[in-house]
Amino acid sequence: MNESNVGQADAKSTFKVKVGLAEMLKGGVIMDVINAEQARIAEDAGASAVMALERVPATIRKEGGVARASDPQMIQEIQATVNIPVMAKCRIGHFIEARILEALEVDFIDESEVLTPADEDFHIDKLAFKTPFVCGATDLGEALRRIGEGAAMLRTKGEAGTGNIVEAVRHLRTVRTHIRKLTVLGHEELMTEAKRIGAPYALIEEVARTGRLPVPNFAAGGIATPADAALCMALGAEAVFVGSGIFHSENPAARARAVVLATTHWEDSKRLAEISKGLGSAMGGIEMSKLAEHEKLAKRGW
Amino acid sequence: MDGGLGRAGDAPVGVLALQGGYEAHEKLLVDLGHTTRRVRTAADLDGLAGLVFPGGESSTMLKLIGWNSLWGPLDQFVRSGRPVLATCAGLILSARGVSGPEQPSFGWLDIDVARNAWGRQNESFEAVDDAGLLKLVFIRAPRVRRVGPGVEVVATLRGEVIAVRQGNVTGASFHPELADDPTLHRRVFGPAEGLDWAGSPTDCADRETAVANLQKDWQSHAAHD
């Protein structure tokens, strides 16, 4: 930093600026919404951002078919309705859908396994975009590959649309345990580890040194109750995404607000008891053993 | 930017942690030698040396402030005169008037702000202030539309007001904590006791000396990066 910096042009879309928005979403709840009315309910319930999509994961599961990026008109209606950030999903590898979302000026793009993948070999080159990306990850290698491609935020994949938290817990714990392991490995062991898990060496080195991911990691996939949200926070998630869990429950507005409060006050069990009272029934759930392998969304992407 | 606002001893500096960028603020404060405490309830305010209002979503924070009955306790704390730093969403909460859309605010700073007035995330940016002293990161930031007579302008960008001070409250539309720039935190909260740190701008009689000291401070900080 010196005089020569003064008067320089502003630097837009730097990695720092992209991760900066993820930092501002910490401790909050990002809610899936399918129209402007739901977006308004989410904002009124204290959501820190909304995710615009055509069908929530539970509906996609039920109806089947190819799930694609949303109608731009719906996204613009949501943008015109709320003041909090608006995110939207594109298919894995579908960089044209991503460019359309960038042109719509969504605040974050989710390259998401919830939609039907467009490319089974290549994820999007996210460094080529102005708009920041969030991607799902089931383990540390996958997380670091996505960061290597330019993701500014990660989330667990969990198992979207099931109302079952077990996979999100697995992914949070898997990443956390692996990070701890890296911090105690000798420097000479790191390259082998990079090879073993297929992660960029520079990022492996960074995680080994700092003991944390270079970008925020949020929880997603199967969160249905305030207690689920608090559990994810307790396991090191820095914020939570709730998909079908809100608008497929009996009382969306009350449940949405309860999940927001639980994400802030996850350490206070008395508060959690209070928050969890009288919310009506949660969304119906699916046991993992009842899902066929091809129905598991977390297997999409690599 | 003259006149000391506070000097921390053993008492922790609070960071409002309802939602938003509280972690990066904690890191900067800890780097300066302070201890920190996350503030989520009125009881968390007891015995704090000062308070940070971080960035995040101001409308979300307002709701959580209401649901947690924090409006009165926070107002009382700030009016007690202890040093306060409010960034981005924090600046919006501290302002007298808010537009884009209108929403309630505490009014500790006699300024009006417009929310998200630089644009959506694609327009977020990094820059350096007009004096060349502060690293700036703007994230969907508010813009200051009016500055009252009792408000001191602390920093500008291309002539536009981006940081102000009134009494014990310093507010910025940008994120010093994301730029890893401790200058504002140091000015507001001072270094913790026992820190090896020389050249406090708060000890200076005039702005010129303060600026020169900050510049030195900056360079030594940059050298450590």
By CA distance, what is A23's nearest residue in B? B21
CATH of residue B137's domain is 3.40.50.880
Spell out the residues 6+ positions from residue A132 whose beta carbon is closer than 8 angstroms to its own.
A17, A18, A19, A21, A22, A107, A108, A109, A152, A153, B121
Candidates B26, B34, B88, B185; catalytic one = B88
SS3 at position A19: helix
Sheet holding A86-91, edge to edge: A217-218, A153-156, A133-137, A108-112, A86-91, A49-52, A29-33, A240-242
Q: Which of A23, A29, A213 to mutate to test the interface with B (most CBs of B within 10 A)?
A: A23
Compute the nearest-CA separation of A4 from chain B (Å).
Answer: 9
Establish if B120 belongs to a structural domain.
yes
Q: Reply yes or no on whether the pLDDT at B6 is more than 80.
A: no
Q: Which residues of A touch B115 (CB under 8 A)?
A: 83
pLDDT 10s digits, B113-165? 999 999 999 999 999 999 999 999 999 999 999 999 999 999 999 999 999 99
Establish if B2 belongs to a structural domain.
no
**Into how many domains does chain B fold?**
1
CA B95 distance to own-chain centroid:
12
pTM for this prediction: 0.90
pLDDT 10s digits, B73-122? 999 999 999 999 999 999 999 999 999 999 999 999 999 999 999 999 99
Compute the nearest-CA separation of B111 from chain A (Å).
Answer: 21
pLDDT 10s digits, A155-181? 999 999 999 999 999 999 999 999 999
Establish if B5 belongs to a structural domain.
no
The per-residue pLDDT of chain A, averaged, comes to 95
Q: Name residue B43's amino acid.
A: A
Domain of residue B215, residue span = 13-222
Spell out the residues 6+ positions from residue A188 whose beta carbon is closer than 8 angstroms to its own.
none
Q: What is the pLDDT confidence band of residue B1, given thresholds at 50, 70 and 90?
A: very low
Report how far residue B187's alpha carbon sits from residue B214's, in angstroms, rounded to the nearest whole number: 10
By CA distance, what is B63's nearest residue in A? A46
At B192 the pLDDT is 66
Establish if B100 belongs to a structural domain.
yes
Active site residue A89: yes
Report how far residue A206's alpha carbon sits from residue A227's, in angstroms, rounded to the nearest whole number: 33
In terms of Cα–Cα distance, which of B193, B196, B195, B173 is closest to B184? B173
B42 burial via Cβ count (<10 Å: 0-12, 13-18, 19+): middle
Establish if B3 belongs to a structural domain.
no
Of A24, A83, A265, the CB nearest to B20: A24
| Angle CA B71–B28–B67, to nearest 5 | 20
The ipTM estimated for the assembled molecules is 0.93
Q: Does A85 sit behind a cis peptide bond, omega within 30 degrees of 0 on the bond before it?
A: no
| Contact (Cβ atoms closer than 8 angstroms) between residue B51 and residue B40 | no
Establish if B7 belongs to a structural domain.
no
Active site residue B177: yes
Report how far residue A302's alpha carbon sits from residue A199's, in angstroms, rounded to the nearest whole number: 11
Establish if B6 belongs to a structural domain.
no
In terms of Cα–Cα distance, which of A138, A114, A132 is closest to A297? A114
Active site residue B175: yes
Q: What is the pLDDT confidence band of residue A207, given thresholds at 50, 70 and 90?
A: very high
Q: Reply yes or no on whether the pLDDT at A43 is more than 70.
A: yes
Q: Reply yes or no on whether the pLDDT at A274 is more than 50.
A: yes
Establish if B35 belongs to a structural domain.
yes
Q: CA-based Rg of chain B, rounded to a whole angstrom?
A: 16
At A10 the pLDDT is 84
